Amino acid sequence: MRGIKILSIIRYVSTAEDMSQSWRLRRSFQIVDLGLNTADIDFFAQNEVFSSFSTNLKGSASRLTRMAKQGDTVAVLKVAGIFIGAGLLIYIILGWIF
């Protein structure tokens, strides 16, 4: 709908001043459209970041699990610490909610 209004404004201009004003109006709509497109790009970039973080986290968890299965004492303690920390975090969050 905006495109139709812009074209009708440009069609009926008569003086150079009106023409420059209509050009500024048209240019501002283009800037707004570009701003919307860059916001979409930022959204997709954030999704890539979260996807990369998720992939790295899964890889780290699988390496730690493999080390723990081999009997590495430090890895076993790390896995136990992660489970205890996650349990405490859930307990605290549920304590705030209920």
Rounded CA gap, 15 and 21, in Å?
10
Q: Count Cα atoms within 13 angstroms, Cβ side, for 96.
A: 5
Rounded CA gap, 12 and 5, in Å?
11
Q: Would you list the domain boundaries of the chain?
A: 2-70
Rounded CA gap, 33 and 39, in Å?
10
pLDDT of residue 1: 47
pLDDT of residue 61: 81
Mean pLDDT, each 10-residue run in order, the chain (98 residues): 49 55 56 50 57 77 83 85 91 90
